[in-house]
Amino acid sequence: MMLPRCTTWLALLLAVTNTVAQTTTSCNPTEKTCPDDTALSSSTYTHDFTTSGADDNAWNVTAGKVTYTSSGAEFTINKPGDAPTIQSKWYIFFGRVSFFVKAASGTGIVSSAILESDDLDEIDWEWLGGTNYASTCQSNYFGKGNSSSYDRAAWAAVTSTQTTTHNYTISWTSSATTWYIDQVAVRTLAYADAVSGTNYPQTPMNIRIGIWAGGDSANDPGTIEWAGGETNYGDGPYTMYLEKIEVVNENPGASYSYGDRTGDYTSIQVSDAEDADAASVSSSSSASTSASGSAQSSSATASSSASGTSAASTTPAVSTTSAASTTGSLTGTVRTTPSASLSALAQAAASPAVRVGADIWRLVHTIPSGASLARFLQKYNYQDPLDNTKLDNYADMTGGADFFATCAKDPEQLGSSFIGLMTALRNQKVPWTDVYDTTDLVSNADLKSGARLFVDIGGAHGLDTERLLARHPYLPSDVLVKMGYDFFTPQPLVGPQAYFFHAVPHDWQDANVLRMLANVKIAMKPGYSKLLIYEVVLPAKRATSLMMTLDLQLMNCVSGLEPTEQHWKGLLEKAGFGINSVSRHPRAVQSVIEAELA
């Protein structure tokens, strides 16, 4: 009775060993110093191989020959030794990849789509040819190439893998990885479930797509058995088709480097190029949607210091905030796929208007007000502006008009500069969804018809809403719209799961923050709605130089401040809220405060 069992385990061992051998690294940064990885410098990349053919700027053919037709990129095996493969020229660091694939037929033929890091972290999809595997596919993962356990692979049912194109998606974050087939989750791996994170894939990965003959007669018997049997090349050729690929990169930049040899994601350093913004890379016209709604012009901002403008939405589940319209009119863009919407938003965020706006901010606002700060403080005997609402360095400099009133006088230039700065900063920050675990937020949400999940108040181009959609790509949201809204008036959207502020309250003195909180409070559903604030939470001691610089900048321009945790606690309690948690991230200067009605 023992022999068949031992034989089975031997076959598994040989199969896994051979599978590992398909992916290699030229330099393992957990063993020695290696060159930096080239990063995908944009938030999104989309390419439709059926209409645009090859994309030589993004992909290298590392083995064999790949052809391009109206059916997509074709990976074909004609004879022993054929194994056509392409590999991305860049890496991503957490995000999502969707492969639109029709797998190859043929016993023993393996079609594969793999995310692979230099230290052999791996996440993959694999499809086996042959009639026995035409309705199933395999997901798998490795941490640091560790093949000491054999419970990582999982099989999922899917109809007609060899005759029908399906969308196979990997959603990869620091806390969990989820595999989707046609937008339906079929498997989730939590960080803690991979040997307490030790075997969890967590370092920058490139993308490898190809086909090989696991059933080649020269392979080990265990590999041939795993692949479904020996390959008969005479029945070929065997072709895998890749129609389209969609990529979301949560941490765009110029390059990724390993800060040490632990292989832990917290050690990864993201280097930004001088102009490495969140520009979307889209090589097909069908990949991006019009930016007229979710990423419209950045000219609208707060109309005055007493009229902060934000945005809301009329979408079924997700409410996005775009550049707020002072007229309050609604415009929208269809979100055909999560990445298409991300593409439109990222294109607007990277537009010349945004980049020039950020430059105008520095030249028109920051430098002059900074130069006048010493004179202002001396003039008023170094009183803290927060102690007297009549004290405002910016208003003193302009002769009476505070920052927001000044922007309102020239929305095309000065107003857009504020949106430009906020967009540029958001592109460089750690996504709030990496700081705060949104799993419970989404799973506990009531998404019945007409219900809303998330309202981002004052969110400009809606990038934070897109972060949520990227983390949960199949939320039932069909349209992203914008809506003019003054957050010093009652919140019109009642009862969503979460109301979100990012870098809004810190622009205002406490009295005005209490006003905006009161307007949110009346719309919240007791015991259900959450208030999320993504802001700097100053520690009581040893604040970083960046935190202190931001604090001084706020005092300089708007008489605002970066509050301490104790200050936030007192302010929220005064407004009728209780803090549930303060989530932090080792690479983020800001924290996410979760609060609810007291």
Catalytic site positions? 122, 126
Cβ atoms 271, 256 nearer than 8 A: yes
How many other CB atoms are found less than 10 A from the CB of residue 378? 9
Cβ within 8 Å of residue 58, ≥6 positions away: 45, 47, 88, 89, 90, 281, 283
CA 547 to chain centre: 24
Copy the structure tokens of residue 236. 């070929």
Grouping H, G, I as helix, E, B as strand and the rest as coil, residue 570 is: helix
Q: Hey, which bits of 474-569 come out as E strands?
A: 479-481, 484-486, 498-502, 530-535
Task: Please report which residue ranges of 291-366 form alpha helices under DSSP H.
Answer: 338-349, 352-360
DSSP 363-405: IIIIHHHHHHHHHHHHHTTT--GGG-TT--HHHHHHTS--HHH
Cβ atoms 472, 442 nearer than 8 A: yes
d(CA 16, CA 277) in angstroms, rounded, equals: 40
Ramachandran angles phi, psi of 225, nearest 5°: -65, -45
d(CA 349, CA 43) in angstroms, rounded, equals: 11
d(CA 495, CA 455) in angstroms, rounded, equals: 10
Of 80, 66, 12, give the one whose Cα is nearest residue 227. 12
How many other CB atoms are found less than 10 A from the CB of residue 284? 15
Q: What is the maximum span of the chain, computed from C-alpha positions, in angstroms? A: 93
Q: Is 156 left (phi over 0), alpha (psi -120 to 50) or beta?
A: beta
Cβ atoms 348, 461 nearer than 8 A: yes
d(CA 213, CA 224) in angstroms, rounded, equals: 9
Grouping H, G, I as helix, E, B as strand and the rest as coil, residue 566 is: helix
What share of residues in the chain are helix, strand, coil (percent, to 5)? 30, 25, 45
Cα distance between the two ends of the chain: 64
Beta bridge partners of 69: 72
Of 116, 141, 138, 147, give the one whose Cα is nearest residue 226. 138
d(CA 30, CA 28) in angstroms, rounded, equals: 5
> Contacts by 261-265 with C-beta closer than 8 Å and gap 24+?
261/29, 261/30, 261/31, 262/30, 263/29, 263/30, 263/119, 263/121, 263/144, 263/202, 263/203, 264/202, 265/93, 265/94, 265/174, 265/202, 265/203
Q: Hey, which bits of 143-275 come out as E strands?
A: 154-157, 166-172, 176-181, 184-190, 205-213, 238-249, 255-258, 268-271
